[in-house]
Structure 1
Amino acid sequence: MRFSSLVITNDPFDVIQLKDTSNGILVEIYSMGALINGFYVFVNGQLHNVIDGFVSPNAALKEITYGFKSAKLAPFVCRMANGQFNIDGRYYTIGKFYLGDHAIHGLVYDALFEVINLYADEHACSVGLRYHYNGTDKGYPFPFELLVNWKLEANQKVTVTTTVMQQGTVPIPYSDGWHPYFMIGTGIDDCTLQFNSNKQVEFDERLLPTGITISDHRFEQGTLLKDISLDNCFLLDASVPAKCTLSNHLMDLHIQPDKAYPYLQLYIPPHRNSIAIENLSSAPDAFNNDMGLLWLKPNQHYIFSTSYTIKQRNNG
């Protein structure tokens, strides 16, 4: 059979390998956070990981908050001002991780998901993972369930689909996203970036949205990232299919979110070896500024999906 899906270790948590045996493409999924830690493709005869991930599962346990590599972002994304929000005059204060004065990157980035299915046939392979958040954080006492499905198929395409549902009696606020870092064989200064947006979400000095968008046309036709610093959020153009392409002389990484992810957060770390390209359902601090904030209705499914496809370039 062309594709395979199996758990390769369960110490200290389940690690799942998805493989296309026809070309050796490998995808590594950690059940901690349901995150992708590896997407291995052959470049000039050598296997290359396009994910800037962790060196081991134990490293992930210790280091997830250092850069939140590949982290699942839920029930809020990026920064929440002072870790606080209010519903009808009642204030809630997040009790989990803070960067400076602000809560950051949600509550499930280190959650241990359960592997609920493994699937493989001649056309694709996948793993399904489940986590039930039971409302234990005092700042978000609203239970919900997450189902995350990672799928590898032909043409070096990986798709991740998140389904969320809550079973309370009233709607609850929610944002969804991912925080992967990509590296495509060279430093970021040798890469170009293109995506369909001419609107940047304006940030204040705290890196929190002001509530307005500003014009930014730099990336519509693609631009070289050399000398460009990014820790910004963009609103994708809803009138055309969403796409984002990171390219160099070796390969093109195509990212295609569905309409449930209308925001694109970008961050280049100081080492400039990789770039975080984050598909988000809302802007940062949406619990306070309402930019894309969802209200999950009881017993209703909400689905978010994005795909990553690698195309090698023929360099002769």
Structure 2
Amino acid sequence: MTAEYRITESRLGGEPTLVVSAPDDSARAVLALRGATLLSWQVGSEATGHPKELTDGYRDEKELLSQDGVRAGLLAPFPNRVADARYHHDGHDHDLLPGAHGDRLIYHGFARETPFELAHATTAPDSARLLLRTTSIRPGTHPGYPFALDLTAEYTLSADELSITIGATNVGDTTAPYAAGWHPYFTLSRPIDDLTLHIPAHTLIRTDASLVPLPGEDARLPLDHRPTMDFRTPRRLGDAVIDACYADLTPGPAGRIETVLTDPATGEELRVWQYNGYMHVFTGDTLARDPRASIALEPVETMTNAFNRPEHAAALALEPGRTRTFAFGVRYASSETPTAHEAP
């Protein structure tokens, strides 16, 4: 009988986790049920013969609960910031931080701290699929968001790839503003300064000092006018400091938009893929732990502060009874591994 992938229960301190492993332990992922958060993703390395850690996730329960750096957080019902924690929707004003004065920074939604449960799982000799679900987003649960959503996070793990699909179903009776994203930090076991980055984007989203995009078309800057931020031709990161959103992404031959992180010394690559949306890049300079040891490559459906941008209103609107999904993932390739469009 052919061995299959395994799914076992474990804990990170007091937090329940799920461990997914290949039959020969050549691939492994650990997920916390809190936020359906990826804690670790390892793939067998031809160079060492041992599993190689490819993400820089929360290392203990304290880090997970503090959410410092939002490591591998699933971002919903909004990615990145909502300016001043306020927005207007369907004729009503909403305040996500009612009563707060001074610092009104709110970012990355609240799914990342929401308890999920395992709803379904399947295993096979070459992969495992887990469907995590939460029904906790309801009117009155989160200030300033009086909408009812059921969220799912579907993870699929194979020998060299991790795929994720976030799904949201509006189970309320009013249209809800909604968008999703992912906030992973990736590592190839060396400082990011030594790595090469390729972003197939033609436009940079310009922001103010609070990292909120400028109004209207002023937010969109062709990368031809900002060569220091242009990674359409792969180049070394060096000392570049980036916390920026890239737009007008170009799909590759297989239809996927791929942002590629490469270690020139080994030929290893991480191909972060998505089919639509934007790519937000953060070089981790302000992280409390290990700044610039990893890089955040974040597939997101919308730009920052989309809740306050009229041009995003139609894309955000999730009508009662409707479900929307956002799919993305990451593939590891060694120097001997064929790329996605070369694979048989």
**TM-score scaled to structure 2, two decimals?**
0.84
The correspondence for 1:309, drawn from 331, 336, 343, is 331
Q: Which whole-Å CA distance do the structure 2 matches of 1:238 and 1:168 have between them? A: 36
Query: Does the CA-based 8 Å contact 1:13-1:112 persist in structure 2?
Result: no
The 2-side partners of 1:99 and 1:16 are apart by: 39
Q: Is the 8 A contact 2:55 2:186 kept in 1?
A: yes
Structure 2 partner of 1:265: 280
Deviates more, 1:70-79 or 1:285-294: 285-294
Structure 1 pair 256–54 and aligned structure 2 pair: CA distance change class (3 A): same
2:16 counterpart residue number: 14
Percent of residue pairs bearing the same amino acid type: 22
Distance in 1 between the 2:54 and 2:101 partners? 28
Q: Deviations over 1:15-73 (max 9, x none)?
A: 111112245211111111111111112333243211111112x2244321x21111111
Query: Of 90, 93, 110, which aligns to 2:92?
Result: 90
Q: Which of 178, 182, 197 is matched with 2:182 structurally?
A: 178
Summarize deviations over 1:138-196 as a string: whole Å, max 9, x none. Answer: 21011101011111123x11101111101222211111011111111111001111121
Matched letter for residue 244 of structure 1: T
Q: Give the gaps of 5 or more residues in structure 1.
A: none
User: Are 1:288 and 2:308 matched, yes or no?
Assistant: yes
SS in 2 for 1:102: coil
Q: Tell me which residue corresponds to 1:168.
A: 172
| RMSD across aligned positions (CA) | 2.1
Contact 1:117 1:128 (8 Å CA) reproduced: yes
Q: Is the 8 A contact 1:69 1:180 kept in 2?
A: yes
The structure in which a higher percent of residues are strand is: 1
SS in 2 for 1:109: helix
Alignment of 1:59-78 (within 5 A): 59-64=62-67, 66-78=68-80
Quote how far apart the aligned CAs of 1:258 are. 2.0
Moved over 4 A (4+): 96-99
Cα distance in 1, alignment partners of residues 331 and 22 from structure 2 = 14
- Which whole-Å CA distance do the structure 1 matches of 2:240 and 2:22 have between them? 36
Alignment-derived partner of residue 153 in structure 1: 158
SS in 1 for 2:206: strand
Q: Which runs of 5+ in 2 are unaligned?
A: 225-229, 286-290, 337-344
On the 8 A contact 1:2/1:22 being kept in 2, the answer is no
Q: 1:220 aligned to 2:232?
A: yes
Letter in 2 for 1:224: R
SS of 2:112's partner is coil
1:99-118 aligned at under 5 Å gives the runs 100-118=103-121
Pick from 319, 327, 334: which aligns with 1:297?
A: 319
Name the CA shift for 1:153/1:36 in 2 (closer, same or farther; >3 Å): same
SS of residue matched to 1:103: coil
Tell me which of 204, 207, 217 is aligned to 2:208: 204
For 2:8, what is the secondary structure of its paired residue?
strand
Q: Shift of residue 239 of structure 1?
A: 6.0
Contact 2:83-2:305 within 8 A present in 1 as well: yes
Residues 31 and 40 of structure 1, relative CA distance in 2, 3 Å threshold? same
Q: Give the Cα–Cα distance (whole angstroms) in 2 for the partners of residues 99 and 301 of structure 1.
A: 37
Aligned to 2:57: 53
